[in-house]
Amino acid sequence: MAEKIDQLIESFNDNFAQVGIIGLGYVGLPLALTLAENAFSVTGFDVDQEKIDRLQESQSYISHIADDSIKKHIENGRLSATGDFSQITGMDAILICVPTPLTNDGKPDLGYVISTAEAIFPYIRKDQLIVLESTTYPGTCSEVLRPLFEKGGMKSGVDFYLAYSPEREDPGNPKFGTSTIPKVVGGDGEDAQNLALALYNQIVVKTVPVSSMDVAEAVKLTENIFRSVNIALVNELKVIYDKMGIDVWEVIEAAKTKPFGFMPFYPGPGLGGHCIPIDPFYLTWRAKQFGLETRFIELAGQINTAMPNYVVTRLETALKDRFDTDVSSASILLIGLAYKKNVNDTRESPAFSLIKLLEEKGAKVEYFDPFVPEIPTTRKHAALAGRRSIEWSTENIQSYDATLICTDHDNIDANELFDNSRLIVDTRNVISADLGNLDKVVKA
């Protein structure tokens, strides 16, 4: 057995191994390209045939990934894509990067993880490394995945090797990509740990070994809970300071000049993305199994979830105060549908909640987003699918009663927006004082 492990480690060290990536989304595709860039032969697996077809045609479906980066590795043979899971047998390492959402009642939904495990189970062979990268609660790998893979008689740490290494992707962040972000690694035993470290050491700037898969799972949740709680704090401060006539953005800018003891977080219209709105509640659910409450986490969730309602209330008040107009008869232009700037990622975007709340009150709502020309199908807001972004023009902007800035894309002309909007509700501090008289701008 030691000889087999040494051979597998050597194949990782020599970038000779065959690596399979299951799930070719915002985590899996960048990971696949990073492995290919480091001379590994990578096979991407997905149940979405459209993704497979586009990759085979060297086309990207993620805004911050260029077609050329895919084309390069399709043509040199280092990257391929398929929906044929029988090819799992030929992989030396299998990295699972599938979604882990919440159910409608706020519980962890491991459906994608479990269905993936069941799909690849018939094709797993001895001496393979299997790593879960999807965010999840402590105990998932040891209590859910390991039993699924062992049900045929093979044993983790003897016949195959299981590890957990949480993804740390930040879509569209130009400073950090897959290869430049340290990678936390927790293995099911020493051999699994050493194998996972050997693989990731070839592609990332630094690996961070931890003592178990449970610890690695807890690390990922801790990172995102930290962000959720601090965002909730500044969202609450925003509401309080607004009542006092204080600009929370000015407060944060001044506070962050302190070189110690303070880290800036910024308010917004609500949480978006696949991590921060979801991950904390994986720990909430898990803690209840141990008879514990997560009061801090749940309070942060309540504050962040309430932000779209706060924004809509601010918009309603501004329309009434300035134009004596009810929101029920107003037309609203929402700027930015993506959950964060400069990407086309709409997962859990607060923009959907804002549209829903406004339309329930009778408002006419349209949107502009240069990265999202059409609203995709989503689990929570399927009724909005197919709506298209308006064309950017001064005439179009002038035709609305109010402009609501939800996402601060860099390529949106703030000057033109300011000059042609009757009223602006700014949730991202886009409109600055140097543009002119800010009487028509409301921060929310």
Catalytic residues: 275
CA distance 247 to 429: 10
Distances (CA, A) of 237 to 185, 221, 245, 262: 36, 24, 12, 15
Residue with tokens 């790998």: 141
Helix or strand holding residue 367 (H, E): strand 364-368
SS3 at position 193: helix
SS3 at position 162: strand
| Cα pseudo-dihedral 408, 413, 414, 417, rounded to 10 | -110
State phi, psi for 393 to the nearest 5 degrees: -160, 155
CA distance 17 to 40: 6
CA distance 167 to 136: 11
CA distance 344 to 176: 18
CA distance 439 to 5: 68
Q: Which residues contact 383 (CB under 8 A, 6 or more apart)?
A: none
Residue count of the chain, please give it: 444
Q: Which residues contact 266 (CB under 8 A, 6 or more apart)?
A: 231, 234, 249, 252, 429
